[in-house]
Amino acid sequence: SREVQPEPSEIEIVPGLGIGGKEFVVVAGPCSVESQKQICETAEAVKQSGARLLRGGAFKPRTSPYSFQGMEEDGLKLLAEARKLTGLPIVTEVVNPRDVELVAKYADIMQVGARNTQNFALLKMLGQLDKPILLKRGMAVTIQEFLMSAEYILSEGNRRVILCERGIRTFETATRNTLDISAVPVLKQQTHLPVMIDPSHATGHSHLVPSMCYAAAAAGADGLLVEVHPCPEEASSDGPQSLRPAEFDAMMKKLRAFVEVT
For ligand PEP, the binding residues (CB under 6 A) are 31, 57, 61, 113-115, 136, 166, 198, 201
Helix (H) or strand (E) holding 168: none
- How many Å apart are CA 159 and CA 62, to the nearest integer? 29
238 part of the interface to Mn ion, by CB under 5 A:
yes
| 243 touches Mn ion (CB under 5 A) | no
If one counts every other C-beta atom within 10 angstroms of the C-beta of residue 171, the result is: 5
The Cα 25–Cα 255 span in angstroms is: 11
* Binding partner of 47, given ligand PEP, Mn ion, none, CB within 5-8 angstroms per partner class: none
72: left (phi over 0), alpha (psi -120 to 50) or beta: left
Whole-number minimum distance, CB 9 to Mn ion, in Å? 27
The nearest distance, CB 57 to ligand PEP, in angstroms, is 5
CB of 127 to ligand PEP, least distance (A): 19
Residue 31 interacts with Mn ion (CB under 5 A): yes or no: yes
Residue span binding Mn ion (CB under 5 A) among the ranges 24-32, 104-112, 121-129, 158-166: 24-32
Which listed option, Mn ion, ligand PEP, none, makes contact with residue 34 (CB within 5 to 8 Å by class)? none
Instruction: Identify what 127 binds: Mn ion, ligand PEP, none; CB under 5 to 8 Å per kind.
Output: none
Report residue 94 CA to chain centroid gap: 12
Give which of 124, 112, 44 is closest to 83, Cα–Cα.
44
Closer CB to Mn ion, residue 158 or residue 236?
Answer: 236
Residues in the chain: 262
C-beta of 1 vs 120, nearer to ligand PEP: 120
Q: Compute the distance between CA of residue 37 and CA of residue 78 in angstroms, rounded to an integer.
A: 9
| Run of H or E residues at 240 | none
Span from 12-20, 21-29, 75-83, 237-245 in contact with Mn ion (CB under 5 A): 237-245
In the bound state with ligand PEP, the residue whose beta carbon lies nearer, of 10 and 73, is 73
Determine the straight-line distance between the first and last CA of the chain, rounded to whole angstroms.
30
Which residues would be at the binding site for Mn ion (CB under 5 A)?
31, 238
